Amino acid sequence: MFSYKSTLITISFILVLFIVIHFILDFDGLYGQDSYEYLRYTKALHTYLISGKPPGSFFWPLYYPITGSIVSLLFAPPIALQLISIAALVISGYFISKTILLLYPRTNYISLYVLATFVFSPLVFRLGITNMSDMFCTALIVLSFYHGFSYYKKETIKHLYLVVVFSICAVMTRYVAFVVLSPLAVTICYSFFKTKKHFLHLPVLVLVGVVLLLPHVFIQKNAIGFLNHNALTLWSVINFFKLSFTTSEGVNNYNFPNIIYAFSSLFHPRFLFFGIVLVLLYFKTKIITTEIKIVLFSLLTYSLFLAGIPYQNNRFLLLSYPLGIIVLYPSYLYLVDKMETYKMEKFLILTLLFLQVCLSYLSLKPILNRNILEKTIAKELHNYKKNTLYSFDIDVALQGRGLDFDYKNLWVIEYATFEKDALVLFHPTKFQKQWEGQNPLLNWNKLNNEYNLICLKEFPDGWMLYKIKPLKNE
């Protein structure tokens, strides 16, 4: 898959990115809530590998934390997870390039195209350096399409095995990858049974699939629990046209209906600021092969699935985004050809790349700031450890960074009473709209109305640490 030269370049790129992000920008890949949950379970699986202690329950698929636990044999778990994400970003870019080479007869400036449209796409780059499963799953999807098309075109048995392995691993990293990969899987199965060239390999392929599913069956307590996720239970065509949703995640209002959001990775600046130009130019190109139809159908299928989910999350768009980059490559060539008339094609490409790099850095600012905030609060709260702590949103970060509190999450239940002299870490204004009428604000309002909150510490961005005292008239 890799030549010696490409392997050296790829590894060097991964290491340089890691050094810049982890040491120069001082970002350890942790922010928000999901990344800390992946870290928690990676540590649990690491302990399981070494001592055999059961890792406990985990809602999401296992392959990202499993991979993290293995790499943790060499590096600390946060570093292991971040290295996996950065490696997945670079490998995704490499195999997007290889897929384009496989599908198109003409390939000019392909490396610069992939760097500008994928690697340094603002949201892609951001997800490629954080400790979450999105980029790892994306790499597995890209590898699945590359080897799937290689098998479809060449009928080489190694590609058949690899597409089975990478596809199952993708689904076992993010269940929703099944939707992206379904059209490819149907095509490969049709080709396999039609030619019957490798029919004798069928038992081995089934065995490979079963082996890859075993971690999910044996480690997960509830192997089919994901079927109860609200992305499935609340999916509806009606959601295509809605801009506001009330779910267990609170009240969320959006600027565009779901059907526009679901396709927005092809034209929104968070992914590709010049994407709208490429989309419009696409209709001037004439390359519609069987493979491109499969890519388009996969993109369409997944986008329609996202449109029916009762909320919007830009992370979800990442899994199909490489397919859009593959489809839009002829548009890029068309644009380059036009600029060659003025001898400005290289200037255009480098300018686009430079602007994407700048936008990528700007897209990092919110998570860099959040990361700094979490580390700042964690450092300050060391002085208050072993107390009861009521909190919401940021408490997951504190647990992930090893602070020893008796944690009481304000989202889980509506508390009838609160412990006196316990601590409360909350942002008084941040959650007013999203969580109106739900547990976080119901609990906060009860604390304000029925207790005396003594401010102990003010943190950046409006977070406050309080101690719970009874009202003076009690």
pLDDT at 339: 80
Mean pLDDT of 111-131: 96
Q: Which runs of consecutive H residues, i.e. helices, occur in 60-133?
A: 63-71, 77-103, 110-114, 122-127
Between helix 134-154 and helix 157-171 the angle, nearest 10°, is 160
Cβ(181)–Cβ(141) under 8 Å? yes
Banded pLDDT at 165 (limits 50, 70, 90): very high
Mean pLDDT of 203-218: 92
Q: CA angle at residue 402 from 401 to 408, to 5 degrees?
A: 95
Tokens of 400: 């992930």
- Of residues 344, 365, 419, the one with CA closest to residue 389: 419
More confident position, 393 or 196:
393
Length of the chain: 474
> At residue 233, does pLDDT exceed 70?
yes
Model's pTM, two decimal places? 0.94
Percent pLDDT > 70 in the chain is 97
Amino acid at 138: T
Please state, in angstroms and rounded to a whole number, the distance separating the CA atoms of residues 27 and 415: 36
Each residue's pLDDT tens digit, 254-269: 999 999 999 999 999 9
Query: How many helices (H) and strands (E) in the chain?
Result: 20, 7
> At residue 461, does pLDDT exceed 90?
no
Please state, in angstroms and rounded to a whole number, the distance separating the CA atoms of residues 305 and 221: 27
Residue with the two structure tokens 């954080």:
130
Q: Are strands 406-409 and 423-426 parallel, antiparallel or unpaired?
A: unpaired
Average pLDDT of the chain to the nearest whole number: 91
pLDDT at 174: 95
